[in-house]
Amino acid sequence: MRISFATAPANPDSGARVVLAAKGELIGAATALDAELSGAVARAVAAARFDGEAASVVELLGHGSMRVLVVGLGEPGKIDAAGWEKAGAAIVAKLLTSGETAVSVDFAGVGADAEAAAHLAHGAVLRAYRFDKYRTTMKDKAKPTLTSLTIVNAPAGSDTAFAPLAAIAAGVMLTRDLVSEPANVIYPESFVERARVLADAGISIDVLDEAAMRRLGMGALLGVSLGSEREARMLVMRWNGGGDAKPVVLVGKGVTFDTGGISLKPPAGMEDMKWDMGGAGAVTGAMLALAGRKAKANVIGVCGLVENMPDGKAQRPGDVVTSMSGQTIEVINTDAEGRLVLCDAIWWAQEEFAPEVVVDLATLTGAIIISLGHEFGGIFANDDGLAAQLIAAGAATGDKLWRMPLDEPYDKLIDSQIADMKNVGPREGGPITAAKFIQRFVKPGVKWAHLDIAGMVWASKDGALWAKGATGYGVRLLDRFIADNFEAK
């Protein structure tokens, strides 16, 4: 989607034109257009029982074949960045496959600033994403046609305000691409190759192969990979934009396909497990976003990349593995594999970089979906301040988080009779015992948060800023978290 801003007006007599309305009233160019069309806008609005609710849309024809959309913004004076993004997304959702190739949005008389225009454009870009790469027989009416959006009578500085949002959108698109690809295309080695594009943005890339991880003693992570023909990888991405400041470490679970291993998942829905690398996808997209907007912070992204397959060489329930930390783990269920990947990745990152803050993201448990549905990711944290920062970033970007407990009684539920711990506890409290498992690998003094995002990386229906499929959840959250708390001002 090409975005442009024009300070001059534009009055096309064909194509698509958008005017805006607040709740209960036409505003700005909408009133002028209504007069120009002899009251047609007001009649269309009345007939549709349109009252300017946020992201609501009414369509009518103007002069000739000109398509006119009236788009609602909600309560006057209460329209925030999210509201402008939803308005931009609503425009694209209406026109994406309409046959129109271009749309202009008229900001005349709206009284909005450059940030508003930029966020409307940001929402449009996010909603325009489609993953049609493998669809060869799609009917013409189903194919996207809209390729450009122009904001006319744009506030001064709109293009400058949009530049960092464009970088963030690029990160979201990368994450959506990674999550959408099938597992025969994205596996540990090919994930790494896709991520090498980040080097063009100034990110340094390092990769640990299985031999290197074996030398380091990563028996937990490598145990997950035993049954796969695809070798595991550790992807390390470094962005140094903050001088001598200690880095923030972001760790992503990257199980590129999860059969459950010997503890095989039921066949129904197993195809969805291509997105079990959604945490690694979010970390990779966030790193691209940070580099793209030249964030003044030091951030390191670490992705543990494995494929969990059943095979004669695969680890079995009851096996004991030794993690890089030296702690031993009884593998009760091979389908609780993400925590085995994360524990070695987090320990290695602490040994290598001595961070003060570590945040991990993982599609870790189905039980978090039972708890929170598809509205919130779960957050577990050992520091109240860090939890508050992440929750605030989620609220600001729409990548919402809900804090879950980490009380001590849950910890003893993962004690093992023959090893230091087992990789699952009882059925009840599953997301919490999973978090307690990871917490055992967090060094004293390190502020740590675990985001269980299993319900958020993929959507079975359209959302405000995405079509059904990969959502890109986590990229905007992490970018905002860094921007608000770690960037030099």
Establish whether 139 is a catalytic residue.
no
Is residue 456 within 8 A of residue 368, CB to CB? The reply is no
Give 394-422 as a DSSP string. Answer: HHHHT--EEE----GGGGGGG--SSSSEE
Architecture of domain 2-156: 3-Layer(aba) Sandwich (3.40)
Catalytic residue among 17, 253, 274, 339: 339
DSSP 428: T
CA distance 297 to 464: 30
CATH 3.40.220.10 intervals, the chain: 2-156
List residues bridging with 329 in a β-sheet: 321, 421
Q: Which two tokens stand for residue 351?
A: 């040994």
**Per-residue pLDDT tens digits of the chain, which is 489 residues long:** 999 999 887 666 667 999 999 999 999 999 999 999 999 999 999 999 999 999 999 999 988 888 999 999 999 889 999 999 999 999 999 999 999 999 999 999 999 999 999 999 999 999 999 999 999 999 999 999 999 999 999 999 999 999 999 999 999 999 999 999 999 999 999 999 999 999 999 999 999 999 999 999 999 999 999 999 999 999 999 999 998 999 999 999 999 999 999 999 999 999 999 999 999 999 999 999 999 999 999 999 999 999 999 999 999 999 999 999 999 999 999 999 999 999 999 999 999 999 999 999 999 999 999 999 999 999 999 999 999 999 999 999 999 999 999 999 999 999 999 999 999 999 999 999 999 999 999 999 999 999 999 999 999 999 999 999 999 999 999 999 999 999 977
Q: Which two tokens stand for residue 58?
A: 């009414």
In 297-356, where do the E strands start and end? 298-308, 320-322, 328-330
Catalytic residue among 23, 130, 265, 443: 265
Is residue 125 within 8 A of residue 147, CB to CB? The reply is no
SS3 assignment, position 58: strand
Is residue 366 within 8 A of residue 454, CB to CB? The reply is yes
Q: Are strands 298-308 and 248-258 parallel, antiparallel or unpaired?
A: parallel
CATH of domain 166-485: 3.40.630.10
Establish whether 194 is a catalytic residue.
no
As a dihedral over the C-alpha atoms of residue 161, residue 162, residue 168, residue 169, rounded to 10 degrees, the angle is: 160
Cβ burial 361-396 (10 Å sphere, 16+ → b, else e): bbbbbebbbebbebebbbbbbbeeebbebbbbbbeb
Q: Which two tokens stand for residue 80?
A: 């925030």
Q: How far is CA 386 from CA 259, 347, 350, 440, 447, in A?
A: 34, 19, 17, 18, 7
